Amino acid sequence: MADVLIGAVTQVRKPWVEGGTNSRLFKCHHVTIALATQGGATNKIPASLFGMSRVTEVSNAVVTDDSIIYQTAPIISGTAIGIGAVASGIPTDVTKTVELVVKGY
């Protein structure tokens, strides 16, 4: 597989900005993403999908039918979002449509 492409992302609501420290503004996106075996260590959800160079915060990813909630976090470099398996938290690829909020710059 490969990294998520922009065509898999749909805005749930209009993006907004929040104030940060040192006058840095953070972009915020509430989106759904149609994942096709993506989100693990090699098939990434890159920050660039959201017009960001770094993701600083991300909500849990909720499957759109409310059947599963996945743990999510920015990877250490902030250049992508990782998704953890439900029981173990180990990075895993997911094939579901999920909804989440992404913040970064």
Instruction: Give the pLDDT confidence score for residue 85 in this predicted structure.
Output: 84
Instruction: Give the pLDDT confidence score for residue 1 in this predicted structure.
Output: 66
Output the pTM of the full model. Answer: 0.89
Whether 62 is covered by a domain: the verdict is yes
Domain count within the chain: 1
Whether 100 is covered by a domain: the verdict is yes
Whether 18 is covered by a domain: the verdict is yes
Give dist(CA 19, CA 58) in Å, integer: 16
Question: pLDDT per position in the chain (105 positions), as tens?
Answer: 689 988 999 999 999 999 867 778 899 999 999 999 999 989 999 999 999 999 999 999 999 999 999 999 999 999 999 999 878 888 999 999 999 999 999
Q: Which domain holds residue 48?
A: 6-104
Whether 94 is covered by a domain: the verdict is yes
Instruction: Give the pLDDT confidence score for residue 50 in this predicted structure.
Output: 95
Q: Considering only CA atoms, which of 5, 87, 77, 73 is closest in space to residue 40? A: 73
Whether 1 is covered by a domain: the verdict is no
Instruction: Give the pLDDT confidence score for residue 28 in this predicted structure.
Output: 97
Whether 66 is covered by a domain: the verdict is yes
68 alpha-carbon distance from chain centroid: 15
